[in-house]
Chain A
């Protein structure tokens, strides 16, 4: 069964600190893995996209890693800001028609 599992479910971090979110997937076929940021009541916004041959990709303070052998990915947020408070969702693109398989997300709360 195609699944995308994320951990932790939620976390609270102090402004300025770093954090790392985890994603495990058992999706086949695999085309690429994406991390999205979703603010409450809004649509997901893409942070990074990685194919199976890419190990790491950065977008500002966000750095994603991918291990296609173990089917694991992580998203590292550096020097968190209050505006980073959101749900971070790991998503796998599964087929040629572009169907996305979503994880449940990690709810990140950054406090002053």
Chain B
């Protein structure tokens, strides 16, 4: 079936390094994507979004890249900090949000 999934369940990076979290989606008709961050004991927190008419969007220390040709989405976090440790979800917005399984990011000091 159609789904949004993540390539890696866990990612460990050194503090100060850049992090890249990947996501593959299967519905080529999808035109809106969101990245969420979920810390322990909290609900998903909006990070950044992108529409299908764009291939890149930048926020504060985060960049989302969209490659519609291969149906791939990525989240880049610059200068990763300990506070970035969390589970990151990509979500495809249809009539509802379809979430990937999540990638747990661990930042080593």
| A and B bind | no
- B contact set with A: CB distance below 8 Å: none
- A contact set with B: CB distance below 8 Å: none
